[in-house]
Amino acid sequence: MPTGSADLPRLFSQEPLHHMSIQPLFSYLESSTLALGWGHIDKLDTTPDPEEWLDIEHAAAARQKEFIAGRNLARALARSLALPDAPLRRADDRSPRWPADRCGSLTHCATVCAAVVSTTKEMQSVGIDLETIGRVEAKLWPTLFTARERDYLEQLEPEKASVEATVFFSAKESFYKCQYPLTQSWVGFQDVELERSDDKVLRISPTNGDKRPWHAPPIHIAAVDEQHVASLILLYR
């Protein structure tokens, strides 16, 4: 069992966190209590936190790399909010166990990851998701989307539909991440339905049951690069 950074494998470069290549994401939403960013996993790496390493020491190398990159991205964002460094351990359900002074969300694809961190004075919960465009094939639509959502997607040109299906899938993932810390409940893909408000925002509503506070916020969407899209939901206090 590792007891310090000297005992940890040198999987990554030793670049300090403040030199990591963090790119802005949803920058129009940032404030003194909310920080967001994304980056290429290979440029976010550093020596793993000794306590966080305990959660992934037996994982595959690729999983270790993305896990540590995401944690270090979250740590850098927390520092930008003047929050103290703290290990971000993994709970029994595999979700991050955020310190009491902050809430946050992490996401990654094969080569990039993103994170959002906020103080709990400002937010009840947040959710972020990152997806690779084209991952959501049309054969998956009946499982992932309601009849109304599928009707909308089927009216689009194939290339646009591929992007929009990825956006909708990502939005449902970020919604799930936002509501889970509050409800500890699983939500199926067809338990909620999305509708566009404009080119940057989606609205979500339950397909059965009452509308709850976590259904109210808009889901923000953005292109990360030519291959990835991101979605974000913020539940303010």
Q: What is the pLDDT of residues 69-103, one digit of tens each?
A: 999 999 999 999 999 999 999 999 999 999 999 99
Residue 91 lies inside a defined structural domain of this protein = yes
Q: Give residue 17's pLDDT.
A: 44
54 lies in the same domain as 141 = no
For the record, the structure tokens of 114 come out as 């993103």
91 lies in the same domain as 166 = no
59 lies in the same domain as 21 = yes
95 lies in the same domain as 42 = yes
Report how far residue 221's alpha carbon sits from residue 200's, in angstroms, rounded to the nearest whole number.
5
The enclosing domain of 54 has a CATH number of 3.90.470.20
pLDDT value at 156 more than 70: yes
Q: Give residue 45's pLDDT.
A: 66
Q: Give residue 20's pLDDT.
A: 61
Tally of structural domains, the chain: 2
What average pLDDT score do residues 99-115 get? Answer: 96
Contacts for 171 with CB less than 8 Å, ≥ 6 apart? 129, 194, 202, 204, 219, 221, 231, 233
DSSP bridge partners of 114:
38, 107
| DSSP string for 7-76 | GS---S----GGGS--B--SGGG-BTTEEEEEEEHHHH--PPPHHHHTTTTTS-HHHHHHHHHHHHHHHH
Q: What is the pLDDT of residues 4-49, one digit of tens each?
A: 333 443 333 334 444 468 999 999 999 999 999 999 999 886 678 9
DSSP bridge partners of 112:
40
For the record, the structure tokens of 75 come out as 């740590």
Residue 173 lies inside a defined structural domain of this protein = yes
Residue 109 lies inside a defined structural domain of this protein = yes
Last residue of a domain, one of 72, 100, 121: 121
Alpha carbons within 13 A on the beta-carbon side of 92:
1
64 lies in the same domain as 151 = no
Residue 171 lies inside a defined structural domain of this protein = yes
Report how far residue 118's alpha carbon sits from residue 32's, in angstroms, rounded to the nearest whole number.
9
Residue 126 lies inside a defined structural domain of this protein = no
In 3D space, the residue among 155, 169, 144, 162 whose CA is nearest the CA of residue 230 turns out to be: 169
15 lies in the same domain as 112 = yes
Q: What is the pLDDT of residues 168-226, one digit of tens each?
A: 999 999 999 999 999 999 899 999 999 999 999 999 999 998 999 999 999 999 999 99
Contacts for 174 with CB less than 8 Å, ≥ 6 apart? 105, 107, 127, 128, 129, 219, 231, 232, 233
24 lies in the same domain as 107 = yes
Residue 127 lies inside a defined structural domain of this protein = no
161 lies in the same domain as 191 = yes
Q: Give residue 21's pLDDT.
A: 84
226 lies in the same domain as 148 = yes
33 lies in the same domain as 85 = yes
Q: Give residue 44's pLDDT.
A: 85
138 lies in the same domain as 232 = yes
Last residue of a domain, one of 90, 121, 152: 121
Tokens 């993103």 — which residue? 114
pTM score = 0.90
Q: Are strands 228-236 and 112-119 parallel, antiparallel or unpaired?
A: unpaired
With b meaning 16 or more CB within 10 Å and e meaning fewer, what string describes 114-149? bbbbbbeebbbbbbbbbbbbeebeeeebeebbbeeb
Spatial contact of 237 and 217, defined as CB atoms under 8 Å apart: no
Residue 33 lies inside a defined structural domain of this protein = yes
Domain range enclosing 228 = 133-236
Report how far residue 64's alpha carbon sits from residue 214's, in angstroms, rounded to the nearest whole number.
32
Report how far residue 86's alpha carbon sits from residue 163's, in angstroms, rounded to the nearest whole number.
37
In 3D space, the residue among 52, 64, 58 whose CA is nearest the CA of residue 12 turns out to be: 64
Tokens 């991952």 — which residue? 135
95 lies in the same domain as 159 = no
Last residue of a domain, one of 83, 100, 121: 121
Residue 128 lies inside a defined structural domain of this protein = no
